[in-house]
A and B are shown apart, each in its own frame.
Chain A
Amino acid sequence: MPTSHERSSPERRWSIRAPQNFAGGISLIALAALALWLMSDLPRGTLRSMGPAMLPDWLAIGVGLAGLALVASSFKPGEALERWSLRGVFFILLAIVGFAVTIRPFALGPIAIPGLGLAVAGPLAIIVSGFATPEARLRELVILALGLTPFCMLLFGDLLNLPIPIFPQSLTGLFPADWSQKAVLRATAALMIVGAAAVFFLGRGHKADQVDVAVQGGRG
């Protein structure tokens, strides 16, 4: 197997040894070790009747060897490690996990979250993830959230009848009892759009140009 110099990313190229290859190699070796450990109690079987562990074991060994080769190649000059952005990663992960635990009832050990539906989970995901960039502006994100969410609610819940939870079950009591599910959905969506418009017009005086852009995003 040839050891190669690594220059995978065109943006940066300052040459010290090759910490990137070193870290990559170590990660592969760790992954291989993890796989071998996880597979250790399963039978490998024979060629005639292969067990569940035979192929994964071979693959893990292959991954480990590739990792070793990478580590070896890291003693030649190569790519440095890139800069990390913790802020972006953190808010994005938080937003996705936030969506996952609020879309329907969720319980993990002592923590229990009632299902809040798309009406809450959607805006939550948009606003939290928006803060992944330092350029975030809350007002813009609120408009985006209140504009896009009802669009999705109408598309999935009303037009396509998909079984995606739309709003907190506990809130259905707030609407007149003889309203159908659809009517509640449309009313909620309308309310959110009105909310978006309200926020939009309230702040229009200051930053009209950026607001326009936000609305364009809302159509997507």
Chain B
Amino acid sequence: MKKIALTLAAIGLATAAQAQTYPQRPITMIVPFAAGGPTDVIARIVGDHMSRTLGQQIVIENVAGAGGTTGITRAAQAQADGYTIMMGHMGTHGAAPALYPNLKYDPTKDFAPIGLAAGTPIVIVAKKDFPANDLKGFVDYMKTNGEKVNMAHAGVGSVSHMTGIFFNAVVKTKPTMVAYRGTGPALNDLMANTVDYMTDQIVNVAPQIQGGNIKAFAIATAERSPALPNLPTTKEAGLDGFEVSAWNAVFAPKGTSPEIAKKLSDALVKALDDESTRKRLLDLGGVIPSGAERSPEALQKLVESEVARWTPVLKAAGATAE
């Protein structure tokens, strides 16, 4: 018994010592999507500054698959020594339990939250010829024409799919859903007037809105975005209950020592305060979390509330990827 206690103490000391000298070698940040997507871009921008703070490089490893759950599963099962962390997002840590019944991790329990990185707001866009010019007209049209309208999305489990379902639930409409493989082809058909509307991240649609190829009705955030200053928020346009942005956040596997988590969290906060990092994120139309939203505790609360928010919406729409 004594022996065990001693061993435990020794391990405790060892981890404390480890935390003091952490990090000694490069840290792997698993991004559960292919390189080049919004989450990957944010991870690389934030990771770049965090590397400078920590004095060790953060290597981005893209492990794509199954809506991001492949990469997160691997990261969750990695050694909790601070050398494997991950960039999770609204899908992997919010919608996944509803979408994937066989999910091998629990977003609320299996992670040590580090902090929120940046989010990208959702914009409601429609084809150029759509017979409505503002959100109110759009919602009214949807209510009377329901199934005649085609909603495009970028595949089951994608941000545009989830937020589209959420929007339809808020507006209480049931359009015909048309799936695409990725945002690009969906936007192409939206511009060609083949499909009617979609909801997607601002970074994907802003250039087309500015170019006049599609029309935008509202942005689903509390405040207007500097990238599209003329676009009203959903609340301003008269729609309550549809506020959503695709958030991205850094997590470590459960059991990561608090000292290491603190070092990572501090580095993340420092990155979010850095002028050039902020500028790069804002250029993307990103939303940077303010002081209180950045703490690990706030992230834990966010994950819990997101799981609670998405599960009923997605289950009601029958969206699972079994």
Contact = CB atoms under 8 A, between A and B. Distances in A.
B193 interface: no
B25 A163 contact: no
Interface residues of A, number: 5
10 contacts: A161-B57, A161-B59, A163-B28, A163-B59, A163-B60, A163-B61, A177-B24, A180-B25, A181-B25, A181-B26
The size bracket of the interface on B is under 10
Q: 5 shortest A-B CB distances, which residue pairs? A: A163-B61, A181-B25, A163-B59, A163-B28, A181-B26
A163 B294 CA distance: 28
Nearest to A49: B176
Nearest to A181: B25
Contacts of A163: 28, 59-61
Residue among A163, A177, A180 with most chain B CB within 10 A? A163
A92 B130 CA distance: 59
A108 to B, nearest CB: 14
Interface string B59-86: 1110000000000000000000000000
Contacts of B24: 177
Interface in B195-218: none
A177 B28 CA distance: 20
Given A161-B59, A163-B59, 8 more contacts: A161-B57, A163-B28, A163-B60, A163-B61, A177-B24, A180-B25, A181-B25, A181-B26
Interface string A164-191: 0000000000000100110000000000
Contacts of B25: 180-181
Nearest to A107: B77
Nearest to A172: B25
Interface of A: 161, 163, 177, 180-181
A67 B28 CA distance: 49
Nearest to A48: B176
Contacts of B57: 161
Nearest to A169: B79
A34 B57 CA distance: 48
Nearest to A177: B24
A67 to B, nearest CB: 30
B71 to A, nearest CB: 12
Nearest to A164: B61
A161 B44 CA distance: 14
Interface string B7-46: 0000000000000000011101000000000000000000
Contacts of B61: 163
B235 to A, nearest CB: 35
A155 B5 CA distance: 46
Contacts of B60: 163
Nearest to B60: A163
B151 to A, nearest CB: 14
A163 B86 CA distance: 14
A110 to B, nearest CB: 17
A161 B61 CA distance: 11
A180 B55 CA distance: 12
A163 B43 CA distance: 15
Nearest to B61: A163
Contacts of A180: 25
A180 B24 CA distance: 8
A184 B25 CA distance: 11
Nearest to B177: A49
Contacts of B59: 161, 163
A214 to B, nearest CB: 34
B306 to A, nearest CB: 28
A177 B61 CA distance: 25
A129 to B, nearest CB: 27
A42 to B, nearest CB: 10
A163 B31 CA distance: 12
A181 B25 CA distance: 6
A88 B25 CA distance: 41
A177 B18 CA distance: 12
Contacts of A161: 57, 59
A119 B24 CA distance: 21
B179 to A, nearest CB: 11
Interface in B240-267: none
B322 to A, nearest CB: 10
A165 to B, nearest CB: 10
Nearest to B62: A163
Contacts of B26: 181
A175 to B, nearest CB: 11
A181 B59 CA distance: 13
B99 to A, nearest CB: 16
Contacts of A177: 24
